Structure 1
Amino acid sequence: MQKEYTVTVYTEDRIGITNRICVIFTRRGINITSLTTAETEIPGVYKFIITVISEKEKLVKIVGQIERLIEIHRAFVHEEDEVVYQELALYKISTKALQNGNIELLIRENNARILTITEDYFVLEKTGHQQELIDLQAKLAPYGLIEYSKSGRVAIIKWSRRFHDHLKELEQQRPDNLKQATYSEHTEVSAEEESI
């Protein structure tokens, strides 16, 4: 059965790695609905947070293929109840809307906050799950919504501490130049990866 999953990928900071990961999903006919990436608390290690709608069995195979890339430490598939996650949305609204007292109540009820106010518009910020952000967008539309922008998912894996400890041990055990040396020998995509 298809449903939404979160895929986390722990990787080295290498040029082109985002494309190489995305290609694996594309070749399997899976659309990525959001993708965010940032450095973890371990210098040089980045975490990709990818949301997709798919079958778990197919994603497990994809994660195995991703882990074959030389720059990847580990990759995981998570059910929704295995992650704590949020998304962020910004809403640009006509300043004229502030003349309507109802919008201030709407802002409070939805735990949003005003970031900036200009003569022509003001900007609201709200964090939450995707449907909450979409619902607020619909509620704001009658007040003169000018623009809406939403981030991808930011997630913390409920049991990720163990893996982070593993990464720290890995970094302590290996010389600093080992990963770079290994990478330089594998900069070309192998025939095996091309067939994925």
Structure 2
Amino acid sequence: MKSTGKKINSKKSAGKPVEKIPEQGKRLFTVIIFSENTVGLLNQITIIFTRRQLNIETLSVSPSAIEGIHKFTITTFADEVTIEKVVNQIDKRVDILKAYYNTDEDLVYQEIALYKLSTALFIRMDGVEELIRKYNARVLEINEDCVVLEKNGHYEETQALFHELSERIGVLQFIRSGRIAITKSKVERLSDMLAAMESKLERKK
């Protein structure tokens, strides 16, 4: 490929993350699904969201507090009528033990973000230590070429750090995880889940 001969701006930032702006009448819901780790299940869940024209904003899967049971955490913008229909449809599947939807007020939740920066620009930036303290971030990796910062928090907090770094020195790479969340209740609705497990095992017989 022929070079254009144009000089690349070393402070040019990576593509900006898309801001989460809900449509009128919609809000962010967190859908939590408990299931055994069945092959193809994630694709089937995604299809249910697609049919309702709901975009999955974030997705994470991990083991739950119950051995052998996995927990899917999905965020999406929707109205409550639609999200209730989606969760009910997911919950009716034989391979799903239980599905719930929650608002932010029901949950303790976090996301993790990584920021890759130029070492030369980072070192020369004024107030590096103050910025790290301000956002409660930490240096995860540093070498002669790049610095990687880690920030845990809510979407708005990780986004704010991205904007400040972009404006001051540029961001070479950026990635943010899906939401991880637990409910504020004492247990993970264990009794409901165990009852659902027994019921669905009976239906499989």
Distance 1:162 1:29 in 2: 29
Tell me the residue number matched to 1:139: 164
Pick aligned residue for 1:117 from 142, 153, 174: 142
CA positional deviation for 1:16: 0.4
Residue 75 to residue 168, structure 1, CA distance change in 2 (3 Å): closer
Q: Determine if contact 2:98/2:193 at 8 Å carries over to the other structure.
A: no
Q: Give the counterpart letter for 2:112 in structure 1.
A: L
Q: Deviations over 1:122-156 (max 9, x none)?
A: 11000111011111001111223211100010000
Report sequence identity in percent.
Answer: 35
CA positional deviation for 1:10: 0.7
CA positional deviation for 1:42: 1.3
CA positional deviation for 1:170: 6.9
Pick aligned residue for 1:84 from 108, 128, 131: 108
The two structures have a TM-score, normalised by structure 2, of 0.80
Moved more, 95-104 or 79-88: 95-104
Q: What are the equivalent positions in structure 2 for 1:1-196 lying under 5 Å apart?
A: 1-96=25-120, 97-141=122-166, 142-159=168-185, 161=187, 163-167=189-193, 182=204
Over 2 Å off, 4+ runs: 164-171
Specify every segment of 5 or more residues in structure 2 that has no aligned partner in the other structure, as ranges.
1-24
Distance 2:194 2:186 in 1: 13
Moved more, 31-40 or 94-103: 94-103
The two structures have a TM-score, normalised by structure 1, of 0.84
What is the aligned length? 178
Q: Determine if contact 1:88/1:150 at 8 Å carries over to the other structure.
A: yes
